[in-house]
Amino acid sequence: MLSKSAQAVKNAAHENSSKMTYTLEALPYAQDALAPHISAETLDFHYGKHHAGYVTRLNSLIASSDLKSLSIEEITAKGPTNVPAGIYNSAAQTYNHTFYWKSLAPAATRQAAPSQKLNDLIVKSFGSFDAFKTKFSDVAAGHFGSGWAWLVQDKSSGLLKIVDTHDAVSVVHDTTVKPILVCDVWEHAYYIDYRNLRPKYIESWWSLVNWQFAESNLI
Amino acid sequence: MLTRLALTTPRLTRGFAAAAATGGVSKFSLPDLSFAPGALEPFISAQIMEIHHAKHHQTYVNNLNIAIEKLEEAVHKKDAAAVLALNSAINFNYGGHVNHTIFWKNLAPQSQGGGDLQKGALQAALTKQFGSLDSFITNFNGQAAAVQGSGWGWLVYNKTTKSLEIATTSNQDPILGHRVPLLGIDVWEHAYYLQYKNVRPDYLKNIWNVVNWKDVSERYLAASQ
């Protein structure tokens, strides 16, 4: 079953009913809009090569698959063990990146802090905003290898929690949670700007968090 | 459970725990490179080599030593749960340390024989197993390019079948057991990104110019004795 947010982020798949192809969703801001925290050069590769590459690969793999009537979210929601690896990886990476771009906003124009409603939920879930920030940063920095750090909302308790996933794996197949925010900790997300210093990149991620997007994802 | 289940090997931690119990785990340290960081240019830039060796590898060494210290404490307190909880950190950082230690030795500047596979036992075995050196490289590069996320491509000697094999590992999982690592190629993005960006296949194509076949051959002879 698809979560509501997954449907809201009916992202890169602008499906064409006669010829099923997936397209790369436009960035929600200019390529240099996240500088100096994340450079235009990083976005040039991260969006223009990596993200675009996953869409291209998905289109080439899906042609002969009976999954081709599904949206990117629907393929991702099947989970990593129920879809051929190449198709899952391409679809989930497309979904994850689209969600990542939406999790960020230009520092100058974004809402600088979570709304009262979101902040209250953060405090209720983690004790304090600082405790949340520390825990999320630790999970993201401590993730072994490539992957993603997520803020998700537990559908039964309504509380927020932090999870990390490996490589292409998304959270969409977990029907107990709803994704709220994501931080990409693949090295390609930060290597041009920060080299090996993943914690510095995570610090910059905090300067770019799109709190309005986060709030819009709450149940 | 969202994160992939750790496929790490508890026996690795058991081995360290046994050594820790007898006070026998010594501090790990960063080995020197046996060539200047710029010596692999133009195939691998000096900048990549400097950061890869002095920053990335050093971090694995530091975090391994921290994990071992915690392990010694846990063993001392006879806290089995704490020992087990250190499993993934030890696997990751120990793997990161041994994999990179092999990798540096597996590389050599062309002026020191890099890229030159001489006739001999390894060359004969590679030809027998894969048809030719070229078809071995094509096969190896195909598998290494397809590693999802971070990991390694390997040429290993299988002691059970007494033959050469191509293998891949995820993250920093080390090659253990009946397979002996002969040649490891790092396909983490940090191994190539500053020079090759997203184009991992170009990095894989070029790295064979600086493979230290002499070192790989010595490992093969030692493993196949």
Query: If DSSP states are collapsed to H, E and C, what string results for chain B?
Result: CCCCCCCCCHHHHHHHHHHHHCCCCCCCCCCCCCCCHHHHCCCCCHHHHHHHHHHHHHHHHHHHHHHHHHHHHHHHCCCHHHHHHCHHHHHHHHHHHHHHHHHHHHECCHHHCCCCCCCCHHHHHHHHHHCCHHHHHHHHHHHHHCCCCCEEEEEEEECCCCEEEEEEEECCCCCCCCEEEEEEEECCHHHCHHHHCCCHHHHHHHHHHHECHHHHHHHHHHHHC
Shortest Cα distance, chain A CAs vs residue B183, angstroms: 21
For A135, the enclosing helix (H) or strand (E) is helix A129-142
Shortest Cα distance, chain A CAs vs residue B67, angstroms: 13
* Omega before residue B109 within 30° of 0, cis: no
The minimal CB distance from A45 to the residues B55, B150, B197 is found for: B197
Q: Is the pLDDT of residue B1 over 80?
A: no
List Cβ neighbours of A84 (8 Å cut-off, separation of 6 or more). A61, A65
- Residue whose structure tokens are 């393929």: A75
Strand residues in chain A grouped as ranges (E): 147-154, 160-166, 177-184
pLDDT for B9 equals 57
Do the annotations mark residue A46 as ligand-binding? yes
Mutate to test the interface with A, among B92, B148, B200 (most CBs of A within 10 A): B148
Arithmetic mean of pLDDT, B57-72: 97
Shortest Cα distance, chain B CAs vs residue A113, angstroms: 28
Does A187 contact B149 at a Cβ distance shorter than 8 Å? no
Distance CA A178, CA A219 (A): 8
- CB contacts of A196 in chain B (<8 Å) are 51, 55-56, 59, 190
For A193, the enclosing helix (H) or strand (E) is helix A191-194
- Residue whose structure tokens are 């598998």: B143
List Cβ neighbours of B185 (8 Å cut-off, separation of 6 or more). B103, B106, B140, B144, B152, B153, B154, B204, B207
Percent of chain B with pLDDT over 90: 88
A186 touching chain B per CB within 8 A:
yes
CATH number of B10-18+45-108: 1.10.287.990
User: Which of A16-20, A78-82, B33-37 is predicted with the least confidence, judged by mean pLDDT?
Assistant: A16-20
- CB contacts of B193 in chain A (<8 Å) are 187-188, 191-192
Residue of A nearest to B48 (CA): A195
DSSP state of A50: I
Segments making up each domain of chain B, as ranges: 10-18+45-108, 111-224
Backbone angles phi, psi at A164, to 5 degrees: -120, 150
Do the annotations mark residue A143 as ligand-binding? no
Of B22, B26, B35, B96, nearest in space to B63 by CA: B96
Contact (CB, 8 A) for B210 and B115: yes
pLDDT, one tens digit per residue, over A84-132 is 999 999 999 999 999 999 999 999 999 999 999 999 999 999 999 999 9
B76 touching chain A per CB within 8 A:
no
Distance CA A13, CA A58 (A): 11
In three-state secondary structure terms, A148 is strand
B55 touching chain A per CB within 8 A:
yes
Which amino acid, B36? A
Arithmetic mean of pLDDT, B92-113: 98
CATH class of B111-224: alpha beta
Annotated binding site of B: 52, 100, 186, 190
Q: How does residue B3 score in pLDDT terms, banded at 50, 70 and 90?
A: very low
pLDDT, one tens digit per residue, over A149-169 is 999 999 999 999 999 999 999
The minimal CB distance from A196 to the residues B4, B56, B170 is found for: B56
Q: Is the pLDDT of residue A18 over 50?
A: no
Angle B174-B180-B183 from CA coordinates, rounded to 5° = 80
User: Which of B22-36, B128-142, B175-189 is predicted with the least confidence, judged by mean pLDDT?
Assistant: B22-36
Shortest Cα distance, chain A CAs vs residue B22, angstroms: 29
pLDDT for B24 equals 66
Does A45 contact B148 at a Cβ distance shorter than 8 Å? no
Distance CA B47, CA A28 (A): 33
Does A50 contact B51 at a Cβ distance shorter than 8 Å? no
Contact (CB, 8 A) for B212 and B220: no
Arithmetic mean of pLDDT, B154-158: 98
Structural domains for chain A: 4-103 (1.10.287.990), 116-216 (3.55.40.20)
- CB contacts of B189 in chain A (<8 Å) are 146, 186-188, 191
Tokens of B98: 């041994």
Contact (CB, 8 A) for B181 and B219: yes
Q: Which residues pair with B180 in a beta bridge?
A: B157
CA distances from B105 to A96, B39, B164, B185, B222 (A): 37, 14, 19, 11, 15
Of B108, B102, B106, nearest in space to B174 by CA: B102
Which amino acid, A157? S
Mutate to test the interface with B, among A43, A144, A150, A165 (most CBs of B within 10 A): A144
pLDDT, one tens digit per residue, over B105-151 is 999 999 999 999 999 999 999 999 999 999 999 999 999 999 999 99
pLDDT, one tens digit per residue, over A86-97 is 999 999 999 999
Pairing of strands A160-166, A177-184: unpaired
The minimal CB distance from B171 to the residues A144, A168, A169 is found for: A144
Arithmetic mean of pLDDT, B185-209: 98
